[in-house]
Structure 1
């Protein structure tokens, strides 16, 4: 499995994997009409925008993809937040790759990048309440539950999200899969 930086050319396949991941993980949490309706186009627009202008030395954001034989198996996207922390905005693996260690490897590489590029800063992410598998995963990876709040996904869709944080001192110990990014 090759883990490398993502580029503009990866936008559509990242969006497709992101949508497949949501449809699998959020089937019981979000309306089917949303998951099988506008979410695919929303993800396409998001990833085309996010990948535009990605550069090798970018210190504000990182996109890593896991590819094998030209097939995308997972990705992680981190960016700096307005409050100075580093945000793991997305971490997804193909539904048939969940539980294989790929998510852990991507997260650890993202944490290693954060430690090297933004030393002394906390790293955080949000997960939908009810996504129990992901919550267990983030807790096993050392994430600490630091907040809960509502999230508006669409005008008529509000769900609760849980924030997990890796304190700066912990981010500096990326584990076996870092810091090769």
Structure 2
């Protein structure tokens, strides 16, 4: 999609608003967004998904109804590759596998949103955190170098590492710590 443009979106930016049209499929180059349901008059919005670098959003409004069902807000400063509707649909017409992939993703998201909407909020709040974990944590020693910690986080594809002394958890190191306390102080 040669017509794609790169956009910077600081934390707190609402990229897509419920019930409003959206003409872009966004690919997250860096940063993260939260996708939440609109909620109704009696409920608060429900977080449906957090998407990070390499993932995309906005395709459902291109493949289906142009009005968005979801609120998509930047939660970590992001660089977004914005692909316009026309270019996206050209690729869909030319490549059925491309179209089928995004159609499946759209149906999966809609189904997940419907399931969450029908669950009682108290049930969801009582669900153990372990049920939501999608990968193993990066665990590092207090004696590991910053380089080793960064490599462990990168290998595990996580944005934080649990720091231990022996078998005791003594802290956490995040990518924000690296940006603000390591890289930011060295510049």
Question: Which structure has the greater CA radius of gyration?
Answer: 2
Report the TM-score when normalising by structure 1. 0.26
Report the TM-score when normalising by structure 2. 0.26
